[in-house]
C-alpha cells in the first residue's frame, strides 16, 4: 500500500492518507487522540471493508465494528415533533433593560442590565421535518431562557392569537390541517378540504384565520417576525400579588413578508430559505435582534375589557394597553450540531422561574400537560432534561429523582428520599424545599365546582376578527381576501366553502363578498353568530405595510451580469448595497463568472438558473449589449426579470439591458431605474416593495 501524508480533505491531525488495494482513498492515524474507535473506545483498523469469509465471501456476524456502525445509523432518527416538526434555531442572549421588580420577583425580569443565555427555535407548524420553509403557516417562536432560577421557556408563535379556545380541540385542529388521513397529502398546506371543514364548523377560529391568511403567515425571514406568548400569563411580585401579562417580541428589522406567488416559488428554488437566512446572517455577524415587551394589567383592568383575556382567540390591542419594552434579545451563535441542539431541544411551557405563573386560559392549561408528555415519546426518557441543550445552566439542579433510562448523572450517597436525616444541606440528598424562594402559584379563588362548559365570556367569535381585518391597509386586506380565495379554490366541497363564507359575513360583509366574487359563486347569507359582533376601535398597530424601517439591512440584492458588463456600474451597486448593510450577490449565466468590460474576471455567487430573483429583495441588471442579446433566449433570465417585477421589487438596469426588460413585459414605474449616476435612487427603491405596482401585475380579490 502506498502511503502519502496529508492527502484528502479533513485529514485528522497526524493522520496518514494512503490508497487501498482497490484504489480507494483511505486515511489512517496511529495516535490515541486521532484514531477512529468504536463507541466503546476500541481502535478501528479499517473503516472501508467489512470482515468477510474470504475476499469475495459473505460478511461475518462476528464483525462488531460493522454491526455497531450500521445499528447506530439505523437508530439515528427520533420521532419528529407532532407539530412544529420543521425548525431552525440559534443561541444568543436576553438583556433586561428595564426592571419589572414591582410586578415580579423573577430575577430574569427584575435585574436590569443582567444578561441571560437563550436558545431560540423558530418553526412552521403543519409540515414534517423535511418540508419547506415558506408555506402559508403560523411560525413557532420558542425561547428557552437559562435563568439563574431555572429554565424559563416562553413557547410562543408569530401570531398573537390561536385557532381554538380549549386544549381539548387541539388534536382535532391538527388532524384537520395536516395531510389528509387517507391520501397522505397535502404536505405543509392548509389549502384543503379537511382544514376548511374544521374552520367553518369552529367559528372561534375566525380571528386566527384572519391572521393566517394575512401576509404574517408568509414571513420574509425569521429575523423579520414578531413573536407573542399568545396565552395570558401572570407575574407575581415579592408579596405574591398577581399581574396579568402578555409577552411580545418585536424584530429590529421590522415585520416583513414575502408575496404569496414568491413564497410558492421560493419553496422550489430554496426549500431552506429561512434556515439558510438565519444561519448565514449569524455567521456573517449580522445578529438578529428583537425588543422584548410586556402588556401588564391588573385583575380590575382585565375585568373592564369587553372580552375575556383568558380566551386565546382574543388579543389586547396595543392602543388599549400599551406595550412596555423592557429588554432585548440578540441571536449571535449558530448551533454546533443540528440534532444535538435544534432537534433535541425540549420546550416546556411549565418551565417558569418563581415570579412567573400561568393563567386559567384553558388552552394554556392543556399545554401544561402536553409538552412534557410529548418529550417522553420524542426523546424517549424522563431524563431528557440532562441532554446538554435542555440542562438548566447558571443554577444548581438538585432533587431526589433518580434512575430512569439514559441516566447520565452518578448520584452519590444513600439519601434518595426526603425528609431524611442522613444528609446535611449541601451534601448529596441534603436539598430541601424553599418556601420563601421557591416557585409558588398565584392564589386564585375558584368560583365554581367541576364543570365541563365553555364560558359565555368566550362566545364572541367575530369582533376581534373584524377588528383585525378592518385595521389592515387596503393592500393587506386585498392580500388577505386573495389568500382565502386561493385556499377555498383548493377546497373541493361546495358546502365547506359556503359555510366559511357565511362565517366571514359576520366579520365584514365586504370581505365575504370579495371572497364569493373571487370564487365566482353565490354569496351565502351570514351564519348566525352566538353573539352579534361589535365594532371596536381600529388598531393600526396590527398592520405590517408602511411600518417596517426603510433599510437594506437584512435584504439581498441580486446583480445579474454578463460578459462585457460595465465594471464601474457593478462596483457602484455593490458598494452602495454594502454601505447600507445589504447583501450584494453576483448572478451570472455560469458559476465561473464573467469577463467585465475592463477585462477583469468577476466570479459569480450564483448561477442564473439556480439563483432566481425570488431569492433577492431587489435586482440589478448590469448587462452588455451582446450579453443581453444572449439572455433574450434564456427562460431563466426572463423569469428573473418577470418575477422581480411581479413581486414588486426594485429593478435597476443598464441601458443595454432594456431589451430584456421589454421582452419580460416590464413597464416603467418609479421602481424601475435605469442607471445613469443615480445608484442612490435604486438603493432607495430597494428598501421596500413597490406596492403601487401591484394592481398592474396581479388580480387581487
Ligand atoms: Fe404547541 N405543541 N400546543 N402551541 N407549540 C408543541 O411540543 C400543544 C400552541 C408551540 O420549537 C408540541 O415539543 C397543545 C400554542 C411551539 O420545539 C406539543 C396546544 C402555541 C412549539 C404541543 C398547543 C404553541 C410547539 C409538539 C393547544 C403558541 C414548538 C412538540 C392546547 C403560544 C416548540 C413539542 C419547539 C410544540 C402541544 C398550542 C407554540 C405537541 C396541546 C397556542 C412554538 O406538545
* DSSP state letters, 323-357: PEEEEEEEEEE--S-IIIIIIT----TT---TTEE
Dist. CA 44 → ligand 1 center (Å): 43
Atom number, ligand 1, closest to the C-alpha of residue 87: 11
The pLDDT value given to residue 456:
97
The pLDDT value given to residue 595:
98
Q: Does position 5 have pLDDT exceeding 90, yes or no?
A: no
Contact call for residues 119 and 341 (beta carbons, < 8 A): yes
Cβ-based neighbour number of residue 463 at 10 Å: 21
The pLDDT value given to residue 21:
55
Dist. CA 371 → ligand 1 center (Å): 7
Atom 23 of ligand 1, residue of closest alpha carbon: 367
Q: Cell numbers 435597476 correspond to what residue? A: 652
Atom number, ligand 1, closest to the C-alpha of residue 366: 31
Contacts of residue 540, Cβ cutoff 8 Å, sequence gap at least 6: 319, 471
Q: Does position 1 have pLDDT exceeding 50, yes or no?
A: no
Dist. CA 318 → ligand 1 center (Å): 25
Q: Does position 548 have pLDDT exceeding 70, yes or no?
A: yes
Find the Cα–Cα–Cα–Cα dihedral 532, 536, 541, 544, rounded to 10°.
40
User: Which triple of cell numbers denotes residue 53?
Assistant: 469469509
* Active centre residues (catalytic): 84, 157
Atom 20 of ligand 1, residue of closest alpha carbon: 156
Atom number, ligand 1, closest to the C-alpha of residue 374: 44
What's the distance, CA 166 to chain centroid?
24
Q: What is the mean pLDDT of residues 70-91?
A: 97
What's the distance, CA 205 to chain centroid?
22
Q: What is the mean pLDDT of residues 344-354?
A: 98
Cβ-based neighbour number of residue 642 at 10 Å: 19
Domains and CATH numbers, the chain: 75-167+217-390 (2.40.180.10), 556-697 (3.40.50.880)
Give the length of the chain.
701
Q: Does position 4 have pLDDT exceeding 50, yes or no?
A: no
Instruction: State pLDDT tens for residues 194-221.
Output: 999 999 999 999 999 999 999 999 999 9
The pLDDT value given to residue 523:
98
Q: Cell numbers 367575530 correspond to what residue? A: 462
Q: Does position 593 have pLDDT exceeding 80, yes or no?
A: yes
Q: Report residue 70: phi and psi, to 5°.
A: -70, -40
**Which has the higher per-residue pLDDT, 23 or 534?**
534
Instruction: State pLDDT tens for residues 138-197.
Output: 999 999 999 999 999 999 999 999 999 999 999 999 999 999 999 999 999 999 999 999
Please state, rounded to an integer, the average pLDDT across all residues of the chain. Answer: 95
Atom number, ligand 1, closest to the C-alpha of residue 164: 27
Atom 11 of ligand 1, residue of closest alpha carbon: 121
Question: For 614, how many CA atoms within 13 A lie in the half-sphere containing its CB?
Answer: 23
Contact call for residues 87 and 342 (beta carbons, < 8 A): yes
Contact call for residues 358 and 247 (beta carbons, < 8 A): no
Dist. CA 83 → ligand 1 center (Å): 7
Dist. CA 138 → ligand 1 center (Å): 11
Range in 392-401, 588-597, 641-650 the model is least confident about: 392-401
Atom 14 of ligand 1, residue of closest alpha carbon: 367
User: What lines the ligand 1 site, CB under 6 Å?
Assistant: 81-84, 87, 121, 123, 140, 142, 155-157, 162, 167, 170, 230-231, 312, 345, 347, 363, 366-367, 370-371, 374
The pLDDT value given to residue 15:
46
Q: Cell numbers 461475518 correspond to what residue? A: 60
Contact call for residues 332 and 91 (beta carbons, < 8 A): yes
The pLDDT value given to residue 26:
66
Q: Does position 430 have pLDDT exceeding 80, yes or no?
A: yes
The pLDDT value given to residue 22:
55
User: Which triple of cell numbers denotes residue 170?
Assistant: 387541539
Instruction: State pLDDT tens for residues 293-330.
Output: 999 999 999 999 999 999 999 999 999 999 999 999 99
User: Which triple of cell numbers denotes residue 672?
Assistant: 424601475
User: Which triple of cell numbers denotes residue 679?
Assistant: 445608484
Q: What is the mean pLDDT of residues 692-696?
A: 96
The pLDDT value given to residue 20:
56
Q: Does position 6 have pLDDT exceeding 90, yes or no?
A: no
Pocket mutation for ligand 1, best pick of 78, 79, 81 (most atoms within 8 Å of C-beta): 81
Amino acid at each position: 500500500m502506498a502511503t502519502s501524508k496529508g492527502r484528502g480533505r479533513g485529514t485528522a491531525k497526524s493522520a496518514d492518507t494512503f490508497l487501498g488495494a482497490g484504489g480507494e482513498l483511505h486515511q489512517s492515524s496511529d495516535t490515541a487522540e486521532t484514531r477512529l474507535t468504536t463507541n466503546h473506545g476500541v481502535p478501528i483498523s479499517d473503516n472501508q471493508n467489512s470482515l468477510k469469509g474470504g475476499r469475495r465471501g459473505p460478511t461475518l456476524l462476528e464483525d462488531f465494528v460493522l454491526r455497531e456502525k450500521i445499528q447506530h445509523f439505523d437508530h439515528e432518527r427520533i420521532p419528529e415533533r407532532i407539530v412544529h416538526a420543521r425548525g431552525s434555531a440559534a443561541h444568543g442572549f436576553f438583556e433586561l433593560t428595564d426592571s419589572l421588580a414591582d410586578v415580579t420577583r423573577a430575577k430574569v425580569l427584575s435585574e436590569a442590565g443582567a444578561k441571560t443565555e437563550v436558545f431560540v427555535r423558530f418553526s412552521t407548524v403543519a409540515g414534517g421535518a423535511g418540508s419547506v420553509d415558506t408555506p402559508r403557516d403560523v411560525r413557532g417562536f420558542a425561547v428557552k431562557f437559562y435563568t439563574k432560577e431555572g429554565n424559563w421557556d416562553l413557547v410562543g408563535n408569530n401570531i398573537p392569537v390561536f385557532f381554538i379556545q380549549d386544549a381539548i380541540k387541539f388534536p382535532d385542529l391538527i388532524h384537520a390541517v395536516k395531510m389528509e388521513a387517507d391520501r397522505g397529502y397535502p404536505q405543509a398546506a392548509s389549502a384543503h378540504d379537511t382544514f376548511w371543514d374544521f374552520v367553518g364548523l369552529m367559528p372561534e377560529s375566525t380571528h386566527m384565520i384572519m391572521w393566517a391568511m394575512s401576509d404574517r403567515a408568509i414571513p420574509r425571514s425569521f429575523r423579520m417576525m414578531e413573536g407573542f406568548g399568545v396565552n395570558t400569563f401572570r407575574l407575581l411580585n415579592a408579596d405574591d400579588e398577581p399581574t396579568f401579562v402578555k409577552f411580545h417580541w418585536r424584530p429590529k428589522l421590522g415585520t416583513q413578508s414575502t408575496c404569496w406567488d414568491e413564497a410558492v416559488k421560493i419553496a422550489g428554488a430554496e426549500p431552506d430559505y429561512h434556515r439558510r437566512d438565519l444561519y448565514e446572517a449569524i455567521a456573517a455577524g449580522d445578529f438578529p435582534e428583537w425588543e422584548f415587551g410586556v402588556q401588564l394589567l391588573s385583575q380590575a383592568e382585565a375585568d373592564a375589557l369587553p372580552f375575556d383575556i383568558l380566551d386565546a382567540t382574543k388579543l389586547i390591542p396595543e392602543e388599549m394597553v400599551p406595550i412596555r419594552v423592557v429588554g432585548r434579545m440578540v441571536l449571535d451563535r449558530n448551533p454546533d450540531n443540528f440534532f444535538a441542539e435544534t432537534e433535541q431541544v425540549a420546550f416546556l411551557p411549565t418551565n417558569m422561574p418563581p415570579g412567573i405563573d400561568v393563567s386559567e386560559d384553558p388552552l394554556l392549561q392543556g399545554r401544561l400537560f402536553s409538552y412534557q408528555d410529548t418529550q417522553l415519546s420524542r426523546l424517549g426518557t424522563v431524563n431528557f432534561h440532562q441532554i446538554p441543550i435542555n440542562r438548566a445552566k447558571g443554577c444548581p439542579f438538585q432533587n431526589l429523582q433518580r434512575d430512569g433510562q439514559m441516566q447520565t448523572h452518578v448520584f452519590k450517597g444513600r439519601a434518595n428520599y426526603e425528609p431524611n436525616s442522613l444528609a446535611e444541606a449541601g451534601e448529596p440528598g441534603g436539598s430541601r424545599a424553599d418556601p420563601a424562594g421557591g416557585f409558588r402559584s398565584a392564589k386564585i379563588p375558584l368560583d365554581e365546582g367541576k364543570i365541563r362548559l365553555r364560558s359565555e365570556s368566550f362566545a364572541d367569535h367575530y369582533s376581534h376578527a373584524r377588528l383585525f381585518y378592518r385595521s389592515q391597509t387596503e393592500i393587506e386586506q386585498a392580500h388577505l381576501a386573495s389568500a382565502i380565495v386561493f385556499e377555498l379554490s383548493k377546497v373541493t366541497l361546495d358546502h365547506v366553502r359556503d359555510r366559511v363564507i357565511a362565517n366571514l359575513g359576520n366579520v365584514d360583509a365586504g370581505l365575504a363578498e370579495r371572497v364569493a366574487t373571487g370564487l365566482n359563486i353565490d354569496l351565502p347569507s351570514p351564519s348566525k353568530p352566538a353573539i352579534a359582533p361589535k365594532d371596536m376601535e381600529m388598531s393600526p398597530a396590527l398592520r405590517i405595510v408602511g411600518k417596517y424601517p426603510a433599510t437594506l439591512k437584512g435584504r439581498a440584492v441580486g446583480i445579474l451580469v454578463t460578459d462585457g458588463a460595465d465594471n464601474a456600474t457593478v462596483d457602484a451597486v455593490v458598494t452602495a448595497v454594502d454601505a447600507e448593510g445589504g447583501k450584494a450577490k453576483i448572478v451570472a449565466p455560469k458559476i465561473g463568472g464573467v469577463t467585465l468590460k475592463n477585462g477583469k474576471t468577476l466570479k459569480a455567487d450564483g448561477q442564473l438558473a439556480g439563483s432566481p430573483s425570488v431569492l433577492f429583495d431587489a435586482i440589478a441588471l448590469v448587462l452588455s449589449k451582446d450579453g443581453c442579446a444572449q439572455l433574450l433566449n434564456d427562460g431563466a433570465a426572463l423569469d428573473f426579470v418577470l418575477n422581480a417585477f411581479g413581486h414588486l421589487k426594485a429593478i435597476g438596469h443598464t441601458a443595454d439591458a432594456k431589451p430584456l426588460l421589454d421582452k419580460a413585459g416590464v413597464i416603467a414605474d418609479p421602481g424601475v431605474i435605469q442607471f445613469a449616476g443615480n445608484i442612490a435612487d435604486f438603493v432607495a427603491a430597494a428598501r421596500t416593495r413597490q406596492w403601487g405596482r401591484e394592481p398592474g401585475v396581479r388580480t387581487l380579490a
